[in-house]
Amino acid sequence: MQKRKLGNSNLEVSALGLGCMGMSWSYGPAKDKQEMISLIHAAVEQGVTFFDTAEVYGPLVNEELVGEALAPFRGKVVIATKFGWEANPGDSDRWSALNSRPEHIKKVAEESLKRLRVDSIDLYYQHRVDLNVPIEDVAGAVKDLIEQGKVKHFGMSEASAKTVRRAHAVQPVTALQSEYSLFWREPEETVMPTLEELGIGFVPFSPLGKGFLTGKIDADTKFDSTDFRSTVPRFSQENRKANQALVDLVIAFAAQKHVTPAQIALAWLLAKKPWIVPIPGTTRLARLEENLGAEKVELTPEDVSALEEASSRIKLEGARYSNFHETLVGR
């Protein structure tokens, strides 16, 4: 697989990464651990070198899974994880408390190092901006960890351009991770110009619209109560029905290219900028192979324009997060 550098940093990763959250949490019940380890190994064998996790996924168990699965490949892969929540096992309201105090960051970094079985965290994201802690203090804490050799690169997630700029002035930000896809194009206006100016890489999560752009979800799809999409306004039955027009467009475009809708959605992201590295998640080998096949789908500038012009005429319905999570993004 081709490699890409995240912005102006020296962090080189595979053009497509693997988001590991759904293996342990959020998209329904946790999957079998050994099956997920096999899936991660298959990703490595097919050229993936960039793996995404976070302490709050599970919580804690996803880092343990990724650490165990990638232990044989130390030095050959890049692991990104995140801090910024009070991640308490057994706490049903695990997303309720942000904590980016410097002393907390340094404490949980040590714990993540142990779970990931590494000596240094390759890319350490602030998971959500904590308004109770100046971003300069957060960046300073990560800078200390970098100077100590415990972290290699600093990242941010779902932060505003203004906040990224402030953090970058203290400790260079290697990558911003935020939702970005044909299903959610707001970053093109809000953050991407700043990322390009500052030489910061962009790591889109949910590049397949939380599965919607695969064409495998429709108005009749039933979500398990443990699947967070069951609480997302954009995924209400009524909104899925309204938003099907976008999926139909992607399906039609994919048919012209003789590829799958998911491959078109990912190829579009890869064609946008050379410093964009999407991290689609999956728990199935067939889906992994399908997603990785997107790297070989070539879209011309004319293809990209045609896709964007057609999709921009479709009005999408529903917020992408519940009310609580909506307040945590773009800070």
The domains found in the chain, sorted by start residue, are 3-209+273-296 (3.20.20.100)
User: pTM score, two decimals?
Assistant: 0.96
Q: Is 96's pLDDT higher than 80?
A: no
Residue range 114-124: mean pLDDT, rounded: 98
pLDDT tens-place string over residues 176-205: 999 999 999 999 999 999 999 999 999 999
How confident is the prediction for the chain on average, in pLDDT? Answer: 95
CA-CA distances (angstroms) from residue 229 to 172, 233, 236?
34, 8, 8
Model confidence at 35, pLDDT cuts 50, 70, 90, reads: very high
Beta strands, E only, 26-98: 50-52, 78-83
pLDDT for residue 88: 61
Q: Is 93's pLDDT higher than 60?
A: no
Of the candidates 89, 77, 62, 102, the residue with the CA atom closest to the CA atom of residue 12: 77
What value does the CA radius of gyration of the chain take, rounded to a whole number of Å?
19
pLDDT for residue 97: 86
Residue range 205-217: mean pLDDT, rounded: 96
Model confidence at 302, pLDDT cuts 50, 70, 90, reads: very high
Answer with the residue of higher pLDDT: 182 or 228.
Answer: 182
Q: Which residues pair with 203 in a beta bridge?
A: 177
Q: Is 66's pLDDT higher than 80?
A: yes
pLDDT for residue 226: 87
CA-CA distances (angstroms) from residue 225 to 10, 26, 28, 92, 154?
42, 10, 7, 13, 34
3-state class (DSSP) for residue 274: coil
In the chain, the amino acid numbered 190 is T
Q: Is 94's pLDDT higher than 70?
A: no
Distance CA 21, CA 49 (A): 16
3-state class (DSSP) for residue 254: helix
In the chain, the amino acid numbered 329 is V
Question: Which residues are catalytically annotated?
Answer: 57
Model confidence at 126, pLDDT cuts 50, 70, 90, reads: very high
CA-CA distances (angstroms) from residue 271 to 58, 277, 278, 294, 314?
33, 10, 11, 11, 21
Of the candidates 262, 264, 248, the residue with the CA atom closest to the CA atom of residue 214: 262
Q: Which residues pair with 126 in a beta bridge?
A: 83, 156
Angle subtended by helix axes 261-272 and 301-312, to nearest 10: 110
pLDDT over 70 for what percent of the chain? 97
